[in-house]
């Protein structure tokens, strides 16, 4: 079943809970997803209509004015399956709209290790691959075997993993006009007992809760880290004395310098102003450029 909604508020589809209406919100579901997505992409290109691909909305700041075009929501394209197994190695095929947390649970159910670090991650696998998401000292590219995409010609193409194509929060898809359909992930069988896998996942989820990742609407970490600074962006922001700074309804979390939270009525303008304030302070005081990792969805 497909959903097509006009003037759908993006605040209902982003973890920031911010964003005005999209002209058209499209959410294809079921086995025909790749075909339906290709039709929507083709229509947008032929008619020169702006289009944005949305997953769980966990790393997005949508404009207050909304989006003048089509939002293609891939979160209806979910599912995990064991694609191949040889010895102790297993390949998992995970559809792009599957939550990273769901993929970790699927691995657990099948006593497979390697995906524990994804436990509690709010985004989709497609978004994690596109961003090369990183948490707990591990990136999605560390377990990536390959990616299936709809390429620039809207053909389904397999893209094998190449180490040189990935870096910190970088993937080759960020510079291409494509749609990620699925990812093939490495997992291991028998390396750890099922209970040990579960305990690791629970540890990561509890750590996220302890750090109040989900206490307020947010997009997670706002700025990228840079090893040249010698410390995380959050620590730098805290040392600049900015933790707790608030503009409108947007606030730098009291407990984490790299989190901007929506205290209840924040606008995209509030968040953008707070980001600019932090960048200017870091630039003037330390001479460094803090680069946002969240995606700005303009009208």
Cβ atoms 112, 189 nearer than 8 A: yes
Q: Given 8, 148, 238, 293, which residue is catalytic? A: 293
User: What does the block give as tokens for 6?
Assistant: 């006009």
Is 293 catalytic? The answer is yes
- Catalytic residue, chosen from 111, 221, 267, 272, is 221
List phi, psi (to 5°) of 72: -100, 105
Q: What is the DSSP string of 212-254?
A: TTTSS-EEEE-B---GGGSS-HHHHHHHTT-TT-EETTEEE-T
Laid out side by side, the sheet with 218-221 consists of 218-221, 259-262, 250-252, 246-247
Contacts of 137 (CB under 8 A, 6+ apart): none
Q: In angstroms, what CA-CA distances link 1 with 37, 56, 105, 106, 253?
A: 13, 19, 25, 24, 40
221 is catalytic: yes
Helix orientation angle between 100-109 and 194-210, rounded to the nearest 10 degrees: 160
Contact, 178 vs 136, CB < 8 A?
Answer: no
DSSP string, 100-169: HHHHHHHHHHTTEES-GGGTT--SBHHHHHHHT-EETTEEGGGGEEEEEEE-TTS-EEEEE--GGG-BTT
Distance CA(121)–CA(107), nearest Å, equals 15
- Among residues 233, 198, 212, which one has the least CA distance to residue 105? 198
**CA-CA distance, 86 to 74, in Å (whole number)?**
31
Active-site amino acid positions: 221, 293
């Amino acid at each position: 079943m497909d959903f097509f909604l006009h003037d759908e508020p993006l605040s209902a589809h982003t973890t920031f809970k911010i964003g005005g209406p999209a002209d058209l919100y499209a959410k294809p579901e079921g086995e025909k997803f790749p075909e339906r997505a290709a039709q929507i992409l083709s229509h947008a290109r032929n008619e020169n209509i702006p289009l944005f691909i949305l997953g769980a909305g966990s790393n997005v700041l949508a404009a207050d004015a909304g989006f003048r075009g089509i939002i293609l929501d891939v979160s209806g394209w979910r599912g995990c399956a064991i694609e191949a197994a040889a010895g102790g190695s297993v390949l998992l095929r995970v559809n792009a709209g599957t939550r990273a947390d769901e993929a970790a649970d699927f691995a657990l159910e099948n006593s497979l290790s390697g995906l524990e670090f994804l436990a509690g991650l709010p985004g989709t696998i497609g978004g994690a691959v596109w961003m090369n998401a990183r948490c707990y000292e591990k990136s999605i590219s560390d377990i990536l075997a390959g990616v299936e995409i709809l390429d620039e010609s809207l053909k389904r193409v397999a893209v094998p993993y190449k180490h040189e194509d990935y870096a910190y929060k970088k993937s080759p898809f960020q510079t291409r006009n494509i749609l990620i359909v699925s990812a093939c992930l490495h997992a291991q069988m028998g390396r750890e007992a099922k209970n040990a896998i579960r305990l690791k996942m629970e540890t990561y989820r509890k750590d996220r809760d302890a750090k109040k990742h989900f206490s307020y609407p947010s997009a997670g970490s706002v700025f990228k880290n840079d090893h040249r600074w010698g410390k995380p962006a959050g620590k730098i922001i805290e040392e600049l004395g900015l933790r707790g700074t608030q503009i409108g309804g947007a606030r730098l979390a009291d407990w984490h310098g790299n989190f901007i939270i929506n205290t209840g009525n924040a606008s995209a303008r509030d968040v953008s102003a707070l980001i600019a304030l932090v960048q200017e302070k870091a630039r003037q005081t330390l001479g460094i450029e803090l680069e946002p990792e969240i995606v700005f969805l303009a009208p």
